[in-house]
Amino acid sequence: MLDAARELFDSQGYQGTTIREIARHAGVAVGSVFTNFASKGEILSQVMAARLDGLYAELDRVVPHIRGTTADRLRSIFGVFFAFEATRSKLFLSHIAAAYDWTLPATARPFGTNQRLIDLLRDCLAKGVADGEVDPARDIQDIIDVLLAAYGWTYRLVVTHGADAKAMTEVMDRRVALIAEGFRPR
């Protein structure tokens, strides 16, 4: 079911995919889908979680070795994400779209709720505070929210311009620089 859902979300988008189509594509009854998942959003959450396990294992290995300023480390982290999602950017757009589905059950984990990414950003910013590069008076969660908003918004370039990972990374690099201006000590 998850393979079928991944293919459909990647080709038809979140809104364009129905549970009935997922069941048909997987060769199972619709009831079988609901036996395993409470909603389409929960299915997408499982698809994304399965995809991201390998990425986070690699990031856990690499991130402690990333050097440079806080802004440089943030750019590197987002660059890794753009490179990873480049092969399935439409699937990631589905993940972002699900964040705006107000009918999602609490078990769904749409874009912006990924605790591993939030923790990566929090750790990077905490190191920035310790290094004197991030104003300790700034609310770290606000900075994380702005970074995630910029990251998600950058994916619109896939739709509007057919952007690839390199183009999105260049845009995000500029956005990180702007955000960093706001969190630097004065």
What are the pLDDT digits (tens) for 3-46? Answer: 999 999 999 999 899 999 999 999 999 999 999 998 999 999 99
Number of C-beta neighbours around residue 109 at 10 A: 20
The whole-model pTM stands at 0.89
The set of residues, in sequence order, having a beta carbon less than 8 Å from that of 34 and lying 6+ positions away, is: 19
CA distance 128 to 7: 39
Selection from 34, 79, 37, 35 nearest residue 55 by Cα: 79
Expressed in angstroms, the distance from the first to the final Cα of the chain is: 52
CA distance 117 to 23: 31
- pLDDT, one tens digit per residue, over 117-164 is 999 999 999 999 999 999 999 999 999 999 999 999 999 999 999 999
- pLDDT, one tens digit per residue, over 87-129 is 888 899 999 998 898 888 888 888 889 899 999 999 999 999 9
Residue 52 has pLDDT above 90, yes or no: no
Q: Where are the alpha helices (DSSP H) in the chain?
A: 2-12, 19-26, 30-36, 40-62, 70-85, 89-98, 115-130, 140-154, 156-161, 165-183
- pLDDT in the model for residue 138: 97
- Confidence band of 51 (pLDDT split at 50, 70, 90): confident
Question: What tokens appear for 168 in the block?
Answer: 């999105």
**Which DSSP letter does residue 155 get?**
T
Residue 56 has pLDDT above 90, yes or no: no
Residue 57 has pLDDT above 90, yes or no: no
**Which DSSP letter does residue 105 get?**
-
